Amino acid sequence: MSTPNKVSFLTPIKNWLLRNHIWVFFLVVFGAFSLASPYFLTVNNLSNVLTQSAFIGILAIGMTLVMINGEIDLSVGAVLALASALAIGLQDSIGVWPAVFCGLLSGVALGALNGTIIALSGIHSFIVTLGALIGVRGLVFIYTGEDALMVSDFSYTEYPEIYLGPLSITAMIFLGLAFLFQWILTSTRHGREAYSVGDNIEAAHDAGINVKRNKIINFTICGGLAAVAGILLSMRLGTAEPNAGKIWELWTIIAVVLGGVRLTGGYGTLWMTIGGVLTLAVMRNGLRLLSTPNYVELMVMGAVLIMALLLDHFLSGISRKKTS
C-alpha cells in the first residue's frame, strides 16, 4: 500500500473551516451589526430576525435536500404562493384547517410532479423547475384572478403570534424541521441514499438504490416544505398575494450556497444551510436597522455573495469547475 496521507495538526482546523466557514462569516456579520446599531442586539430584534428567516429557511431545507441529490428547484417561490392562495381562498367554502391541508397537498403534489418529470424524462431539473416557476405562477394568477385573497376571519393571523419565550411558533417550526431533516439526512436510509445519488449516481444505481424514487421523494419534500412556508406566510399576512414569494427561489439558493452546500450534489448539511439562512437574515435586518437605502442593500448582497464564493474558493484551494 502506498504511503498514508500526510496529516498536519492544522488539518482538522482546516477541514472544519472548509465545512463551516459560513459560521465564521455569520459571527463577523453578527458582531459588526451589534456594534453598528444599538437596536440590533436586543431580544426583541433577534426574535424578529429568527421569525423573518423562517420562510426562506424552510424553503432552504427542501432546497438543500434537492441539491444534495445534485438537482435544483426553482419553483419553490411559486409553489409557496399557490399553497398560500389555497389555504386562504378555500377557507370560506371548506373551513380553515381543511383549506390549510389543501394548500399543503398542492405543494406536495407539485413537488411530486416536478420530481416525477425529472426522474422519468431525464430532463435537467433546472429546466423542469424553471418551467414550473413560470407555470405555477400562472396557476396562482388564474386561481386568484390576479387579486390578493384575504381571510374573512382575521383570527387566522393570530396563530403565528404564539411565542415560547422569544421563539415564535414560526421560528420553532423552522428549527424543528431543520433538526428533523438533518437527522433524516445522517441517520436514515433515505438520507444516505440522497448523498450517494448526488455523489455518484452510477454507483448508486449499480448498488440497487432506486435513484428515481429518491429524487421524487426529495422533490416532493421540497414542494411540501414550500407549501409549509406558504401557509405560514398566509397566517402572517392574512392575505395571499399572487406575487408572494417572487424571486424567493433566488434568495433561497443564495442562502444555501452561502452555507457551502454544493450545486454539484453529494455535499452539504442543514447545519450549513441554517448558517447561510441566518447570515442572510441578519444582514437584511441589520441593514434595515441602519436605515440603509435599498440600493446599498442590493449592492451589499451581491458583493457579499461573491465574497462568500471567493472565500470558499480560496479556502478549498480548488477551482470549482462548471456546475449545473
Partner 1 sequence: MFKQDMTALLRRHGLLFAFGIFLAGVALTTDTFLTVGNFLDVIRQVSITGMIAIGVTFVVITGRFDLSVGSMLTFLTVIVVDQHNVSGPFMAIIYVMIGGIVIGAINGLLIGFIGLNALIVTLAMLSFLQGLTLFYSGGANVNVQNAQNTWFAFFGRADLFGIPVPALIFILTAIVASFVLTRTTFGRQIFAVGGNETASKFSGIDTRKTIFFAYILSGLTTALAAIIMGSRVMGAQNTIGQGYELTVLAGIILGGTSLLGGSGGIWRTILGITMLGFIQNGLLLLGYPYYVQWLVTWVVIILAVWIDLGAKRGKVFA
Partner 2 sequence: MTQNTTLLELQGITKTFPGVKALDNVSLDVKQGEVLALVGENGAGKSTLMKVLAGLYTAEQGSIKYLGKEMQVHSPLDARLKGILLIHQELSLSPELSVAENIYLGAWPTNRFGVLQKRKLRKQTQQALEALGCDFAPDDRVGQLSIARQQMVEIARAQAFNANIVIFDEPTASLTDNEKAQLFETIEDLRSRGKGIIYISHKMDEIFEITDRITILRDGQVQGTKITADTSVDEITRAMIGRDLDTYFHRAKENFGEDVLAVDGLSADGLFSDVSFSVKSGEVLGLYGLVGAGRSEVVETIFGIRKAQSGKITWKGREISPPTPAEAIELGIALVPESRKEQGLVLGMGGRENITLPHLHFFSTLSVMSKEKELETYEQFQQALDIKTTGPEQPVAKLSGGNQQKFVLAKWLCSSPNLIILDEPTRGIDVGSKSSIHELIANLAEQGLAVIVISSEMPEVLGVSHRVLAMANGRIVGSFSGQNQTEENLISAVSKT
Partner 3 sequence: QDAPDWLGGELKKPLAETRIGITVLYPGSNAYQAKYAETAESYTKELGIQAIVLDPQGDPATQFDQIQDMSSQPIDALVVWPTSQNALIPAIRQASRNGIPVITSNSPIGEAGRRYIAGHTGPDDCAQAEQSAEMLAESLGGKGDIVVVEGTPGYTVSILRKNCFLDKMADSYPDINILASQTAEWNREKAQTVMETFLTQFGDEIDGVYAFDDGMGLGVISALQGAGKAPGEVKVVTCNQFGEGWDAMKEGWHSGSNKQSPVDDAILAIQTAIKIANGIEVPPLQGIETPKVTPENVDEFERPSW
User: Is-contact 220 287, C-beta < 8 A?
Assistant: no
- 16 near partner 3 (CB under 8 A): no
Which of partner 3, partner 1, partner 2, none is residue 200 near (CB under 5 to 8 Å by kind)? partner 2
Contact positions with partner 1 (CB under 8 A) in 137-156: 137-139, 141-142, 146
Choose between 36 and 203: whose C-beta lies nearer to partner 2: 203
First to last CA, the chain: 36
Chain centre to alpha carbon of residue 206:
31
Grid cell in block for residue 143: 386561481
Beta-carbon contacts of 74 under 8 Å, excluding residues fewer than 6 positions away, are: 126, 129, 130, 132, 133, 249
Residue range at the interface with partner 3 (CB under 8 A); choices 67-75, 177-185, 193-201, 236-244:
236-244
Cα–Cα dist 320/306, whole Å: 14
Cβ–Cβ < 8 Å for 269, 68: no
Residues 270-299 that bind partner 3 (CB under 8 A): 284-285, 288-289, 291, 293-294
- Reported residue count of the chain is 324
Report residue 307: phi and psi, to 5°: -65, -40
- Please tell me whether residue 99 adopts helix, strand or coil conformation: helix
Which of 96, 102, 105, 148 contacts partner 3 by CB under 8 A?
A: 148
Under rule CB under 8 A, residue 116 binds partner 3: no
CA-to-CA distance for 138 and 323, rounded, in angstroms? 29
Residue with cell 448498488: 207
Q: Which residue, 112 or 172, has its beta carbon nearer to partner 1?
A: 112
Kindly report the number of other CB atoms within 10 A of residue 266's CB atom: 18
Which of 65, 85, 222, 233 contacts partner 3 by CB under 8 A? Answer: 233
Residue 104 binds which entry of partner 3, partner 1, partner 2, none, CB below 5-8 Å type-dependent: none
Count CB atoms within 10 A of the CB of residue 116.
16
Q: Pairing state of beta strands 163-164 and 239-240?
A: unpaired
Residues 231-290 interacting with partner 1 (rule: CB under 8 A): 250, 253-254, 257, 263
Radius of gyration of the chain (CA): 20
Considering the complex, what minimum distance in angstroms separates the CB of residue 111 from partner 3? 21
Residues 95-124 close enough to bind partner 1 by CB under 8 A: 117, 120-124
45 binds partner 3 (CB under 8 A): yes
Q: Using CB under 8 A as the criterion, which residues of the chain lie in contact with partner 2 when the complex forms?
A: 1-2, 4-5, 187-190, 192-193, 195-196, 199-200, 202-209, 266-267
- Select from partner 2, partner 1, partner 3, none the partner in contact with residue 101, using the beta carbon and a kind-dependent cut-off of 5 to 8 Å: none
Q: Looking at beta carbons only, is 6 or 155 nearer to partner 2?
A: 6
- In what helix (H) or strand (E) does residue 218 lie, and over which residues does it extend? helix 211-237
Query: Of 157 and 264, which CB lies nearer to partner 1 in the complex structure?
Result: 264
Does 238 engage in binding with partner 3 (CB under 8 A)?
yes
> Closest Cα to residue 60, out of 215, 210, 278?
278
Q: Which residues contact partner 3 (rule: CB under 8 A)?
A: 39, 42, 44-45, 48, 51-52, 55, 144, 146-148, 150, 154, 157, 161, 233, 236-239, 241-246, 284-285, 288-289, 291, 293-294
Q: Which residues contact partner 1 (rule: CB under 8 A)?
A: 117, 120-124, 126-128, 130-139, 141-142, 146, 250, 253-254, 257, 263, 293-303, 305-306, 309-310, 313, 319-324
